[in-house]
């Protein structure tokens, strides 16, 4: 899934309400959304299709309880690059995209150029994942910082209101 930039979608209050309901439970049936928002089912169905077609809804995600799956460590590695050629950058991006152990990757502005997120079974496993990436690309990685999440208090992928 890649986020795309461009013209803003034209959303009204009803669209935002649908998005916020789905952000709490993406499995809500149209009938429940219709009931919760006091809207006709066909209207909800039409608006939902429009949100998907216009790429406002990029994906429906499954959020798992990682420790129940055997992944007790969740964290990320931030890094800055050095001596980065186009070829080496492409190799790095290809590796990140194809590596199943990397679950989220992002480029950024500010102190760090890039970040990757891992799920790991143990702290040692997490350290091994970080070490493998750093070793494979040691020629272009200048500096790194690791963060291991202890507890997630909130996770929301939909703003609760439209921008000004």
**pLDDT confidence of residue 1:** 61
> Is residue 4 situated within a structural domain?
no
43 alpha-carbon distance from chain centroid: 29
Range of the domain at 17: 13-53
What are the phi and psi torsion angles at 8 (to 5°)? -70, 140
Q: Which CATH number does the domain housing residue 72 bear?
A: 3.30.70.920
d(CA 62, CA 66): 11
For residues 18 and 29, is the Cβ–Cβ distance under 8 A? no
Q: Are residues 93 and 119 in the same domain?
A: yes
Q: Are residues 70 and 145 in the same domain?
A: yes
Residue 126 neighbours by CB under 8 Å, 6+ apart: 73, 75, 118, 120, 148
pLDDT in tens, 81-133: 999 999 999 999 999 999 999 999 999 999 999 999 999 999 999 999 999 99
d(CA 164, CA 161): 9
Higher pLDDT, 23 or 77: 77
* Residue 141: Cβ-neighbour burial (10 angstroms; 0-12, 13-18, 19+): buried
Instruction: Give the predicted TM-score (pTM) of the model.
Output: 0.75
**pLDDT confidence of residue 65:** 86
For residues 46 and 14, is the Cβ–Cβ distance under 8 A? no
> Is residue 127 situated within a structural domain?
yes
> Is residue 86 situated within a structural domain?
yes
Give the pLDDT band (50/70/90) at residue 3. low
> Is residue 46 situated within a structural domain?
yes
**pLDDT confidence of residue 2:** 64
> Is residue 75 situated within a structural domain?
yes
């Amino acid at each position: 899934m890649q986020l795309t930039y461009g013209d803003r979608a034209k959303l009204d209050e009803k669209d935002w309400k649908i998005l916020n309901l789905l952000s709490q439970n993406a499995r809500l049936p149209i009938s429940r959304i219709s009931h919760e928002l006091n809207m006709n089912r066909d209207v909800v169905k039409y608006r939902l299709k429009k949100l998907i077609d216009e790429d406002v809804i990029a994906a429906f995600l499954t959020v798992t309880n990682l420790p129940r799956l055997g992944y007790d460590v969740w964290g990320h590695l931030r890094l800055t690059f050095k001596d980065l050629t186009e070829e080496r950058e492409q190799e790095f991006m290809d590796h990140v995209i194809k590596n199943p152990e990397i679950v989220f990757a992002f480029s950024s502005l500010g102190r760090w150029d890039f970040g990757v997120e891992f799920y790991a079974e143990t702290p040692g496993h997490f350290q091994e994942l970080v070490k493998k990436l750093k070793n494979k690309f040691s020629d272009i990685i200048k500096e790194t910082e690791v963060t291991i999440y202890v507890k997630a208090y909130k996770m929301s992928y939909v703003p609760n209101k439209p921008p000004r």
